[in-house]
């Protein structure tokens, strides 16, 4: 695999992840309002329902830092509504 192909695969994987991430964040904001992305006692909890099933994701510590980076990148790409 060439270096360019590897870079493209990595970029495609990142875009795929950000698409799922932004869908989750957008659904949580729609479900609970914009306040859901604000950490409470150092934890961001995203909750939403989809097709009758409730989902819950929590971000804290190092995961909270990842959440912030992913949120900023998804926002810059126009993926967050």
Residues 26 and 3: beta-carbon distance below 8 Å: no
Tally the domains of the chain: 1
Q: Which residue has the tokens 């192909």?
A: 5
- The whole domain housing 9 covers 3-76
Residue 28 lies in a domain: yes
Q: Does the pLDDT at position 17 exceed 80?
A: yes
pLDDT at position 4, please?
Answer: 85
Residue 53 lies in a domain: yes
Residues 6 or more apart in contact with residue 18 via CB below 8 angstroms: 70, 73, 74, 77, 79
**Average pLDDT of the residues of the chain:** 92
Q: Which of 3-7, 9-13, 48-52, 55-59 has the lowest mean pLDDT?
A: 3-7
Residue 19 lies in a domain: yes
Residue 40 lies in a domain: yes
State how far the Cα of 28 lies from the Cα of 37, in Å rounded to an integer: 9
Q: Where are the alpha helices (DSSP H) in the chain?
A: 3-32, 62-76
Tokens representing 35 are 């306040």
pLDDT at position 1, please?
Answer: 63
Residue 81 lies in a domain: no
């Amino acid at each position: 695999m060439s270096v360019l192909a590897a870079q493209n695969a990595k970029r495609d994987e990142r875009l795929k992840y950000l698409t799922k991430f932004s869908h989750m964040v957008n659904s949580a904001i729609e479900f609970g309002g914009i306040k859901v992305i604000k950490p409470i006692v150092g934890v961001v909890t995203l909750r939403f329902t989809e097709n009758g099933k409730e989902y819950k994701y929590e971000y804290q510590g190092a995961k909270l830092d990842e959440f912030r980076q992913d949120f900023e990148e998804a926002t810059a790409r126009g993926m967050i509504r």
